[in-house]
Amino acid sequence: QTDYHFEYTECDSSGSRWRVAVPNADGTCTGLPDPVKGKECTFSCAAGEYLEMKNQVCSKCAAGTYSLGSGIRFDEWDDLPPGFSNVATFMDSVVGTDSSNENCNASSWIPQGNYIESSRDDCTVSLIYAVHLKKSGSVTFDYQYLDNNIFFEFFIQNDQCQDTDTSTEKWMKLTENSEWKTHTVPLNSGTNILYWRTTGILLDSKVVKPVMVRNIEIEGVAYTSECFPCKPGTFSAEPGSLSCKICPRNTYSEKGDTSCKDCNVNTHFSEEGSSKCQARLPCTAKDYFQIHTPCDDEGKTRIMYKWIEPKFCREDIKNAIQLPPSGEKKPCPPCNPGFYNNVTSSCAPCPLGTFSDGMEECQPCPAGTEPALGFEYKWWNILPANMKTSCFNVGNSKCDEMNGWDVAGDNIQSGSGGSDNDYLILNLYIPGFNNKKKNPETLCRKMRSEIILFVTSSYCSCIGSMNFLHTVSTMNNIIIEGALSGFATTLMVADGATVWTRKHLVQNSRTRRFINDVAKIYSITVTNAMDGVASYCRACALGSEQSSSSCVPCPAGHYIDKETNTCNECPPNTYLSIHQVYGKEACIPCGPGSRSNKAHSFCYSDCLFSYAPGNQTLTYNFSNLSSVASIMSGPSFTPRGTKYYHFFNISLCGNEGKKMAVCVDNVTDVTVKEVGSGLNEDVSLVETFVCQSTIIPSDGRGFRTALSSQSISLADIFLDNVGATVEPKLLDFTIESDLFPSTSKNVPDVHFFYKSSIPTSSCGTGRTTIITLRCNPLKTGQEAISVPSHCSAGTCDGCTFYFLWESAEACPLCTENDYHEIEGACKGEVKETLYVWNEPKLCVNGVPLPKKKTSPCEAIEFWLKVGAGIGAFTAVLLIALTCYFWKKNKKLEYKYSKLVMTANTKECELPAADSCAIMEGEDNEEDIVYSNKPSLLGKLKSLATKEKDNIFESVQLKSSRSQNI
């Protein structure tokens, strides 16, 4: 009988099967028993039983083992359980290179004792388990998935490698704060092949946090032919057990034990569920802590010392210290601000309308002020009335009896807890905050509510965290993670109770590795709390009527006038500073190209912008660019060759400042404009002005659909003090001229500057996004968005992103300076005037081009004719005078020349002409007559000067002979 075993055949169409004997793999024998009729296919045993195949009856599991009856469970992962297999692939192989599968040979799911974890590289690794169900069932498992650099999917296939229809999404949701999430999927009857598959996307080659899976339980198997032994640290004392029990503290068990063995408590100890005992070490100063008793009538408090429970150290060995004696009296610390010391030696809250610093009596607030209500805890003699502390652990009921935090004079410190998995909880109950709007007409000042927490740790080597939970809004902020040092933080809250928890994140550990870790809170300040106390008074602005509170906040967008102490609304296009509400200077003007919302709480771009270079004014209207635009960068590749893209959504302006750009993780259609509609509540959304997603295409890594992941915000703050500008430099940011070379100097580019308030390890002040709008009449709409040619991902340093948006809608509005007129010739006493745009046309909309105009031709005017006649007469007169004087000059020249010739023929000079003629005896009867008749102009001149005596008609020169006669 040891050479063979029994198995069932497959069920036939009638639901019957046979039990057959099968030789063992390493055995050879003859004379096997004949097949016999088996149990019906739907037969199964109850929980705690197994099917004894020899007799085909259900029998109870022996002590030290357990059974689920119709199910199987895998909760021990020291090795890979039988039936499980690992398959590692890398689907983006490059042609002509070695098989990429060789690079993933070392990749697999790794058993880690209580759980199994995925590979940490960028291989695709599948954990596979095949199970044959005779009836419908389910598979349930716990998983922890913290890093979105890994894609984690769980799916089921049949024996034909076809995906089975399930109602659950195969992509797993991320878990938070190291919590384990349970996932259940229904299974169909027949063969089911289960796949747990992970794929790493190491864009920056960083080590990722692996996916962890534990407690896999499959229901629906027809029977189990064997029972499972209890794992170490558990036991089952009676036959027929459904599960194994955990060994209590200071006991241990080995695999398959029916009871737990005791440790020698004098020298050793163990936590619950231990597989062995550990030696007790000598006690040190870190194994005890001190607390303070409440103040007595003398104003004294006693210092008490206690061992950290459970106590794991020994006092009776060498180098061990002893617990210091308790009972020393010391003066009590003062009351916390807002409280006073009454006759009962305890601290009581100041009455409403009064304040105190905690050391003196409560004083009433002066007129015109109000008490600044809140809580400020910096002395910890007793736990305040609105605080509670507790310890919580699902698997450790003894933790419920312990204090999570203990007061210690000037601080409150975390307790020890029972194990490293304990939650040490400190609850602070706040009934509400005074920033709720009760009556908009009477609210005069918006008051901020915040919690200021100062924390330090004296000893901490923990892999732990301190979480701040705001229970009303279900906000969960991790304040501290890892080794601690002194720090302070401010938390903005809305309303309701608050919780601090300290937790060690040791996976499935029931032992205390971090015994000496202590977190301390020195002060907690809560502002603007309802039913709070006051440590000081502040100026108060009262409206037309007073609400139940001591001060009525101003309406949104109103500042407090310093002189009248009343509320005034901020001027248009200004927003109220969050740091200052007093004086008109608290209203900060919005920059060019931006305007304030109705509440004056922030500025946003209204898509309008004006620029006045010289005497010209350029007006832009970007309203047609206000809808969400998208751009996908060129493909990039990981070191393994995986192709991915950077996808950007851009919400430029308008929409009353609402952030319209939405990026979604794990979506299949990244081109959907209204991404936020119809999505599952668990889908991760990023709503901002500019966001980026990493897109893995459907043809990469074997994914059937495109994946969108690692969505981040690049711009959630519009620089409202500047707005849009044409200058290439703003604050510390400069747009280099070679990023987007411009071809036109006539119309300047308009730059929109945005900031992201979330700092990163490489960008300490957050990211910056600059969107440059350039006028290009040849491009319309949102089709021409580009990134710098040498920075394909839109950024060169990972901190500053640049986008160029070319469009005709980015051109200024047209004005009368952008067109000119052309006047045509007269045709039939009518002429036409045409209007055409200046080329190139660098404007859009605005002033329309005037229509063609016709007008009659005008006749020549009378005076124009008169002027032309006078001009013609003057021209003729000038020509005539010119000819006259020219002829006159010629005659004078002739006479002068003849006179000179005559003078040269005589022997003597002209003055002696008469005597010379007589002496020669010449009888010259020739008379020379010089005529001096003046011209017409000469006569006119003579008449004007009245010199008539000097005018002669003629002068006759006669010879001497004639004179003698």
Q: How far apart are CA 369 and CA 623, in angstroms?
A: 47
Residue 610 phi/psi, 5-degree rounding, is: -125, 145
| C-beta separation of 837 from 849 below 8 A | yes
Q: How far apart are CA 541 and CA 445, in angstroms?
A: 7
**CATH class of segment(s) 608-667+684-811:** mainly beta
* CATH 2.60.120.200 segments of the chain: 84-92+104-221
pTM above 0.85, yes or no: no
Q: How far apart are CA 211 and CA 167, in angstroms?
A: 23
How does pLDDT run across 370-403, given as a tens digit for each residue? Answer: 888 888 888 887 888 888 888 876 555 566 666 7
pLDDT of residue 84: 93
Residue 89 exposure: Cα atoms within 13 Å on the Cβ side: 11
Beta bridge partner(s), residue 877: none
C-alpha to C-alpha distances, 395 to 392, 719, 948, nearest whole angstrom: 9, 52, 150
Q: In 3D, which of 507, 428, 427 has the Cα closest to residue 464?
A: 507
Write down the pLDDT at residue 418: 57
> Residue 748: is the preceding peptide bond cis (ω within 30°)?
no
Regions of the chain short of the pLDDT cut 70: 26-27, 91-102, 166-167, 177, 203-207, 343-345, 367-368, 393-402, 416-421, 434-517, 540-554, 565, 667-683, 700-704, 720-723, 743-745, 781-783, 858-863, 904-965
pLDDT of residue 27: 66
Tokens (6 digits) for 945: 């000067």
Under 8 Å between Cβ of 522 and 456: yes
Helix (H, G, I), strand (E, B) or coil at 912: helix
Contacts by 343-347 with C-beta closer than 8 Å and gap 24+?
345/295, 345/296, 345/297, 345/298, 345/299, 346/294, 346/295
pLDDT at 116: 94
> Any residues with CB less than 8 A from the CB of 391 and at least 6 apart, and which?
399, 400, 401, 402, 403, 404, 415, 417, 418, 422, 423, 424, 425
612 near 606, Cβ under 8 Å? no
Could you tell me where in the chain the CATH 2.70.130.10 domains are found?
Answer: 608-667+684-811
pLDDT at 926: 43
CATH code of the domain occupying 84-92+104-221: 2.60.120.200
Q: How high is the pLDDT of residue 489?
A: 60
The first and second tokens of residue 644, run together, are: 């991915």
pLDDT at residue 216, as a whole number: 94
